[in-house]
Amino acid sequence: MDTLRLVLDPPLTGFENMSRDQAMLDLAVEGDIPPTVRFFQWDKPTLTIGKLQKVESLDIIHLEHRSIPLVRRPTGGRAILHHHEVTFSMFLPPFFFGAGYTPAESYEKLRQVLLLFLEILGITPDQETLNQPYLASPYCFSLNAAHEITVKGKKLIGVAQARNKGGTLFQGSCILSADRKEIAGGFHDADTVLRELSHNLLALDEILNRVPERDTLIDTFLESFAREWSVMFRRQGWIEEEIACSADLMRTHYFPGSSFIMGKETG
């Protein structure tokens, strides 16, 4: 039975959160980073955007007025305002599932875990996810791709990934509650984004009579991993090299208004 490192971080800035995930992926190219599942929190509401996403659709002045930091993720996808949610990341080295697994097949393995998580909560996901018409939307939960999980046609969990020769990094958000007007306010075309969110975004408090505490939800995630993948978890902290790499990344990439965050570079 495989053992995964379990990291439970306290609330951190968005810059530190993203630099820690990036550090795992970067160090994996030359070092031995163990398979890891990480649950983390945000010290304040934070807007993240995908690694290649453009910032032109964002209302930067509104974000600054609301003191909402803007951070670019190391993974792809589109914008997410992180606030009331359970946020997780996962690093898997090559061949974790054996030889021959493609990134898409690895994602499908994670998808099965998420489906079991919802089942344990008493939530029945859709049997089929249909592509939605908002393909130009800047917000992650405004659109559904065919491989994603929806409930009653709406998106509840968003997952993005990045990979290199050292392995694959997944980042995911499960929405507990959502202020759609607050989310939409971060974009120039706020009315359009608000309309998209009303059609596609779903939060746990909208389908459960009582949303479990965050720690209980994390335990449910871990139970789902253990049952679906036949794995165990060992809670551990970051190794010294990861902390140092994260600190370096915060000096070079992950700080307010950096070239990386504002899209003037994508490396």
Domains of the chain: 2-249 (3.30.930.10)
Could you give the CA distance from residue 31 to residue 11 in angstroms, rounded to a whole number? 27
Lowest mean per-residue pLDDT among 45-54, 90-99, 144-153, 213-222: 144-153
- Burial status of residue 32 (CB atoms within 10 A of its CB: 0-12, 13-18, 19 or more): exposed
Of the candidates 46, 36, 49, 48, which has an alpha carbon nearest to the alpha carbon of residue 9? 36
pLDDT tens digits, 27-44:
999 878 999 999 999 999
pLDDT tens digits, 188-215:
999 999 999 999 999 999 999 999 999 9
How many CB atoms within 10 Å of residue 31?
A: 13
The model's pTM is 0.94
Q: Would the pLDDT of 103 be above 60?
A: yes
b/e 122-135 (16+ beta carbons within 10 angstroms → b): ebebeeebeebebe
pLDDT at residue 52 in the model: 94
254 vs 13, 21, 150, 233, 248, CA distance in Å?
Answer: 10, 12, 32, 29, 9
Lowest mean per-residue pLDDT among 69-83, 102-116, 160-174, 177-191: 102-116
pLDDT at residue 33 in the model: 92
On the CB side of 240, CA atoms within 13 Å amount to 0
Who's near 234: CB < 8 A, 6+ residues apart? 3, 4, 5, 6
Who's near 217: CB < 8 A, 6+ residues apart? 86, 174
Could you give the CA distance from residue 111 to residue 97 in angstroms, rounded to a whole number? 14
Per the DSSP assignment, residues forming a β-bridge with 38 are: 7, 89
Could you give the CA distance from residue 262 to residue 56 in angstroms, rounded to a whole number? 9
Of the candidates 73, 59, 78, 61, which has an alpha carbon nearest to the alpha carbon of residue 138? 78
Could you give the CA distance from residue 162 to residue 155 in angstroms, rounded to a whole number? 21
Which pLDDT band, with edges at 50, 70 and 90, does 105 fall under? confident
Out of 24, 37, 110, 140, pick the active-site residue: 140
Could you give the CA distance from residue 127 to residue 151 in angstroms, rounded to a whole number? 9
Return the axis-axis angle of helices 103-120 and 214-229, rounded to nearest 10°.
130
Could you give the CA distance from residue 254 to residue 69 in angstroms, rounded to a whole number? 11
Structure letter (DSSP) for residue 240:
H
Does the annotation mark 245 as catalytic?
no
